[in-house]
Amino acid sequence: MECIPRKAKEVLFGLPCLSDREIVNSDVSQISHVLSRRDRLRLETTRPSDPRTETILRQLKGMGNGLSAPRKAKKTVVLGLDVNFTKRERERILHERNYQLAFWVIMGHGGKQVSEKSRSELRRVVVEKKEAWGIFEYPESIRRALFAFHDLNGQTGDAYILLMNVLKETEKYRDKRLVENLVVTSVMEYVRIYGMENTERMDRIFRKRVHRADYVAEYQRVYDANKVLFKGQPAVPFTFKDITGKKVSLSDLKGKYVYIDVWATWCGPCNAEIPHLKKLEEEFEGRNIYFVSISCDDSRNAWERFVQVKQLGGIQLHMGGDKSFMEAIRCKGIPRFMLIDQDGKFLNANMPRPSDGKTLEILNALPGL
């Protein structure tokens, strides 16, 4: 189980796993025997604006030693590499550097005081280059740069607002392939983490701008799978034991609102929410709502000790070894919060966290609370 950090930027902008990335040009492997390990490391740790980047790229294009290749008429070959491949690879490396710059900004390594030089670099990154299509890093660097710009505007506290702002930016591009790629990757990344509850505007944008058959089919598959969690749908039932060993079911709580926290004792972000959850419990004590915390800890003993030491309130439940509830609510990370109405139906299967001011606003607005 993987904890999802509090801020949207910490979950939306992780470095991609190489195993998950599409290799656009199978000739990329040719470079590995040309550059030494030291030179590869130097290249990986420089930024586009760094003069060393240009120097290293020049060395890649014109190194004086290495394997020679037979000369061919009207075709330039460098160390066995076709000149067109070398040019394309140089372009790919620059897009990779652009991606790293955007990631550096998103993760806050420069704080909010990002230099004008870096801002200028980002502005160049988001420029459309139709001839670069086919290089994996090209659309990815643009997408990350768009998120970085909105991050600098202080809008990463709400992942959905951030997504909407980026999707709006995609309207300016003319290459439909690029637009589809930006929309699909951004939307599916958000859905993987946050689900599809209360995303009607996102859904309209996706269906308006994406028409490629395989993209549409995959989105529809995910949409259909998430429909069971939409507002008004029957909440996923559960029966778990509390701290005394008594079984508690969702049906036992009918007649009151239910605010559910799926968590674990070992989860840092979960622990960070505990003081805020306690404040909510105090704020609504004696009112028409239950606060239910469901632990997914493997060890019941560890959970029991934690609950007792931390003096946790509300209804504390442990799901034991059965994780089917988490699968049913499509829980990809914790903590996960949900709000269920008095009739046992979803109001929001992906509620804001207790630390989010919106949570108190939503709860205070509930009729009959």
Q: What is the pLDDT at residue 194?
A: 85
Q: What is the pLDDT at residue 149?
A: 81
Q: What is the pLDDT at residue 197?
A: 86
Query: What CA dihedral angle connects 160, 161, 167 and 172, to 10 degrees?
Result: -170
Are 343 and 231 in contact by the 8 Å Cβ rule? The answer is: no
Q: Please state the separation of Cα 43 from the chain's center in Å.
A: 27
**Distance separating alpha carbons of residues 320 and 318, to the nearest angstrom:** 6
How far lies 127's CA from each of 92, 122, 130, 131, 210, in Å? 15, 9, 10, 12, 21
Query: What CA dihedral angle connects 70, 75, 76 and 82, to 10 degrees?
Result: -80
Are 89 and 24 in contact by the 8 Å Cβ rule? The answer is: no
Rg of the Cα atoms in the chain: 25
Q: Which amino acid is at 249?
A: S
For the chain, the straight-line distance linking the first and the last C-alpha, in angstroms and rounded, comes to 34
Domains of the chain, by residue range, sit at 8-228, 239-361
Q: Please state the separation of Cα 291 from the chain's center in Å.
A: 27
Nearest of 35, 127, 143, 146 to residue 90 by alpha carbon: 35
Q: Give 13: exposed, middle or buried? Use CB within 10 Å, 0-12, 13-18, 19+.
A: buried
Q: What is the pLDDT at residue 260?
A: 98
CATH of 239-361, one of 3.30.870.10, 3.40.30.10, 3.40.50.10490, 3.50.50.60: 3.40.30.10
Q: Which two tokens stand for residue 350?
A: 């992906």
Indicate the SS3 state at residue 271.
helix
DSSP for 8-22, written as a single string: HHHHH-PPPPGGGS-
- Low-confidence residues of the chain: pLDDT under 50: 1-2, 4-45, 61, 63-77, 110
CA triplet 8, 162, 170: central angle to 5 degrees? Answer: 135
Q: Please state the separation of Cα 87 from the chain's center in Å.
A: 32
Q: What is the pLDDT at residue 28?
A: 36
